[in-house]
Amino acid sequence: MVKEITSDEDIFKCREAFLDLRPHIEAAAYPAILKSMINDGFKVVFIERDGKAVSVAGFWSGYKLHRGNYIYIDDLNTLPEYRKNGYAGMIMDWLIAYANQNNIDQIHLDSGVMRFDAHRFYLSKKFIISSHHFVLGKK
């Protein structure tokens, strides 16, 4: 079952899955960073097994002139030892249903160029590769 973060306990449960995807974030800084993002409108959903979040997704909702109402998925990760159990698929299906229920026109995400397993997954969920994403900056 997919749950939305509603407490500090949930934030802690999601720590391992987020830090697995984002190892540059210090574990001690993670709770404050995630709370700040949640206060700014970031939403987090997760699937819990064995007392921890084994799969997580973090996303923003908004409106842009070029895409209308949208969801942007910042983070989607399943802990390595729990992969191939359909958890990411359950979360993505939840996100698609959320978009449909909330009149959201599009779901967007970026994926690193060498993440071939992730690309196969997104394509299997009917996503298309619509653009190249360019970055200028320190990260």
Domains along the chain? 2-124 (3.40.630.30)
Q: Which residues of the chain have pLDDT under 50?
A: none
CB neighbours of residue 56 within 10 Å: 27
Best CA proximity match to 130, nearest among 63, 46, 122: 122
- For residue 139, what pLDDT is reported? 64
* Burial (CB count within 10 angstroms: exposed 0-12, middle 13-18, buried 19+), residue 17: buried
Q: What is the pLDDT of residue 1?
A: 95
Model-level pTM? Answer: 0.92
Residue-level pLDDT at 92: 98
